[in-house]
Amino acid sequence: MTVIDLGDLREAPTPDRPARRPRPGGRAQWALVVLVVSLLTLAGATPVAGRVALTLPGGPAVAAFLAGGRVYLVQPPDPARGVGRELVAYRLDRASRARVLWRAPLSVGGLADAVWQRDGVVLLVERTRNDTAWDTVAFDVGTGRLAWRQSGVAYPIGDGVLLYGTGPAGNGPARRVDPATGRTLWTVPSKGLLHLGFGPAGVDRLVRIVAPDRVEVYDPVSGARLVARAPGFGAAPSGRLTGVAAGLLLVADVGSNALTGYDLDTLRPRWTVPFPPMGHAETCGRLLCVRGETGGMRALDPATGATRWTDDRWGGALTAVGGRLLVTEETAAGTEMAVVEEATGRLVADLGTWTLVSQDESDGRITGMRPAVDGRLLVADLDPAAGAARIREALPHTSLDCKVGGELLLCRRAQGGFGVWRTG
């Protein structure tokens, strides 16, 4: 089971950047007592230093991504060779060799945020340098031929693609497109505030709030409007915060410090509870976890709004497995990880301080990394079911700039370029 990062509860309709889980952030972005203490929680002895499957070239300005068992590098322009900015696709084989499949030219000035594959195309999501607009560019997965380019951030919906957010206000229409051609299949109007609800397969609800308080819920696969209602929020838009999590539309009345949960299937209120100012809500297992504006976390029953437990230490939950939550606390040293019981919040295990590894493709594992005393980089699965950090690799000459995708681990190497390891 995975945790969905829904971002801050808010009224400003700025699109989240595409999530690479965990992000924090995004989407789907969080997470980082002492090294000696935390080493006691590591499962098993440190393995022999991981073998570099291969090394790929790349300077400081190169952005790297993992998708579909491949490595994609976004290369900056090279005027000396007369080469512009480009996306380079590498295919890896079991003999630890990599070869360039294709190179595709890119526009100048964009900043790459995400790369992922869907239905025969590679999707590159880019933003402008001042973060005011996003574009998604699709290339044929086999040849690198440009398939289409459109404004907006690409999100997965079932086996399709949702595009949303076009400008500084993020108020472009949400639309499903055919991954292969970019043809628009349906569009949700841009007027009002749009929230994206997430499930295991990506976006699973579109919740549109039209001033002053009309709400519409759409199926992101078919584009069908499922329900429309005026719930009667009471507070004016300027006095409320809204968000979507745990199958609920959450509305916080800033003036009265009350939180109301509306059922997404009917848009009727399930409960209203007093609540201090908040900043973040997310699904955490069978509960709704809400972070306070000044820190701390409260776990609510999504059916009744009743508080199951509170803890001033934690700021978020990364995943839920077997009745346990992997929770985090931001500290000056990084992100402290721990395992707690989902039902009670009782501490099961302190895992220590780790830096989260960005996930381009998630297989359900949460991966952390930190320097070892011998200078190598420890890479571990943070396993809430076992209440332990299970070391996958101990990598030499590697920076903390890493990411995982399926069975591949990619890290920027201290001497330049990228190392790629198979960990599956």
Kindly state whether residue 148 falls inside one of the protein's structural domains.
yes
pLDDT band at 43 (very low <50, low <70, confident <90, very high): very low
Q: Which tokens go with 390?
A: 């299970």
pLDDT, position 409 = 92
Residues 296 and 314 sit within 8 Å (Cβ to Cβ): yes
The range of the structural domain enclosing residue 117 comes to 62-95+97-188
pLDDT, position 51 = 57
**CA-angle at 153, arms to 149 and 159, nearest 5°:** 85
What phi and psi values does residue 239 have, to the nearest 5 degrees?
Answer: -110, 20
Kindly state whether residue 23 falls inside one of the protein's structural domains.
no
pLDDT digits (tens, 9 = 90+) for 258-311: 999 999 999 999 999 998 887 789 999 999 999 988 788 999 999 999 999 999
pLDDT, position 297 = 93
Kindly state whether residue 415 falls inside one of the protein's structural domains.
no
Q: Which has the minimum average pLDDT: 3-12, 29-38, 90-99, 250-259?
A: 29-38
pLDDT, position 167 = 53
pLDDT, position 189 = 84
Top-confidence residue, 64 or 276:
64
Proportion of the chain above pLDDT 90, given as a percent: 55
pLDDT, position 241 = 87
pLDDT band at 122 (very low <50, low <70, confident <90, very high): very high
pLDDT, position 96 = 67
CATH at residue 120: 2.40.128.630
Q: Does pLDDT of 100 surpass 90?
A: yes
Q: What is the pTM of this model?
A: 0.84
Kindly state whether residue 73 falls inside one of the protein's structural domains.
yes
How many domains does the chain fold into?
1
Q: What is the DSSP letter of 37?
A: H
Kindly state whether residue 262 falls inside one of the protein's structural domains.
no
pLDDT, position 227 = 96
Kindly state whether residue 69 falls inside one of the protein's structural domains.
yes
Q: Does pLDDT of 23 surpass 80?
A: no
Kindly state whether residue 143 falls inside one of the protein's structural domains.
yes
Kindly state whether residue 17 falls inside one of the protein's structural domains.
no
Top-confidence residue, 280 or 99:
99
What CA–CA distances, in Å, run from 203 to 157, 159, 170, 207, 265? Answer: 5, 11, 17, 11, 16
Q: Does pLDDT of 323 surpass 90?
A: yes
Q: Which tokens go with 153?
A: 């951030």
Q: Does pLDDT of 21 surpass 60?
A: no
